[in-house]
């Protein structure tokens, strides 16, 4: 278990001894952590620390040539090294990627993409889904193409589609990185609502380099440095009493960035 923040004791994700080599270089070393049903957990660290590789390992979308060892269990199903199409239903993971523009087909209308993704959904269901992420008031939504939406609107649509999955684990890989502050806040609110209100037993693993963003959404933090897990703590404890020197630097930098700028006169 990651901590005392679980809403129940159902284990959704268990990672044990995860090790990855890319072009012969060890990029992740003996990673161990777990996520319970209902938890919102962030995997936190600077670019290149291995957090997105970890996410791809869990999702099953590692690039070709990556060597992997260890264990990844989703709902008790061993999925280490398996792409999504080879997994049983219980071992699949709902995903929101960083770049929403590549997650949607740029040559197909949004209405057609929704019908293909959710073939049995009624118009009322689709309308309710769009309303849940604040997209119901866009004129002629179904006839639009992805490029006609803003980045935040596309990302909220991707979240809405991911939430239609019956998977008990949602991974969001840097979903707010390319967004402005106000749009970022809207996307975080949608994620929180999707996990807490729409399906409270669903676990969220949120990948980010931004301590401030993680603090708004997550209850527990896992901190990675150079492919290793260096700290695991509740978000409150992490912000108030970071233990590892690397975590201390991350938190200190985040707090400095939050201070108002002083202007010399």
Query: What is the pLDDT at residue 4?
Result: 37
**CATH homologous superfamily of domain 1-84+170-175+204-257?**
P-loop containing nucleotide triphosphate hydrolases (3.40.50.300)
Query: What is the pLDDT at residue 103?
Result: 86
CA angle (37, 104, 121) in 5-degree steps:
65
Q: How far is the CA of 84 from the CAs of 58, 88, 112, 209, 238, in angstroms?
A: 10, 8, 23, 26, 33
pLDDT for residue 265 is more than 50 = no
Per-residue model confidence as pLDDT tens digits over 225-255? 999 999 999 999 999 999 999 999 999 999 8
Per-residue model confidence as pLDDT tens digits over 170-184? 999 998 887 888 888
Residue 20, both tokens: 């990855």
- Classify residue 103 as left (phi > 0), alpha (psi -120 to 50) or beta: alpha
Percent of the chain with pLDDT strictly greater than 90: 68
Specify whether the CB–CB gap between 193 and 132 falls below 8 A: yes
Percent of the chain with pLDDT strictly greater than 70: 94
The domain limits of the chain are 1-84+170-175+204-257
Looking at residues 160-165, what average pLDDT do you find?
A: 88
Looking at residues 49-73, what average pLDDT do you find?
A: 95
Q: How far apart are CA 181 and CA 48, in angstroms?
A: 23
Say what the pTM is.
0.88
Query: What is the pLDDT at residue 7?
Result: 41
């Amino acid at each position: 278990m990651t901590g005392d923040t679980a809403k129940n004791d159902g284990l959704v994700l268990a990672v044990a001894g995860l090790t990855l080599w890319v072009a012969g270089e060890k990029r992740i070393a003996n990673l161990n952590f777990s996520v319970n049903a209902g938890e919102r957990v962030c995997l936190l660290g600077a670019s290149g620390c291995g957090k997105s590789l970890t996410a791809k390992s869990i999702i099953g979308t590692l690039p070709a040539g990556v060597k992997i060892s260890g264990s990844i269990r989703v709902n008790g199903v061993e999925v280490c090294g398996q792409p999504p199409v080879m997994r049983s239903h219980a071992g699949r993971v709902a995903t929101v990627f960083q770049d929403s523009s590549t997650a949607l087909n740029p040559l197909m209308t949004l209405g057609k993409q929704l019908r293909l993704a959710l073939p049995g959904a009624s118009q009322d269901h689709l309308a309710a889904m769009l309303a849940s992420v604040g997209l119901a008031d866009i004129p002629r939504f179904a006839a639009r193409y992805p490029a006609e939406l803003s980045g935040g609107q596309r990302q909220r649509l991707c979240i809405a589609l991911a939430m239609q999955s019956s998977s008990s684990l949602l991974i969001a890989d840097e979903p707010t990185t390319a967004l402005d502050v106000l749009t970022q806040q809207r996307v975080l609110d949608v994620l929180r609502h999707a996990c807490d209100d729409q399906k409270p037993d669903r676990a969220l693993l949120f990948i980010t380099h931004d301590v401030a963003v993680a603090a708004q959404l997550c209850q527990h933090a896992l901190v990675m440095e150079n492919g290793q897990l260096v700290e695991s703590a509740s978000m409150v404890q992490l912000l108030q009493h970071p233990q590892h020197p690397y975590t201390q630097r991350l938190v200190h930098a985040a707090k400095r960035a939050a201070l108002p700028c002083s202007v010399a006169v």
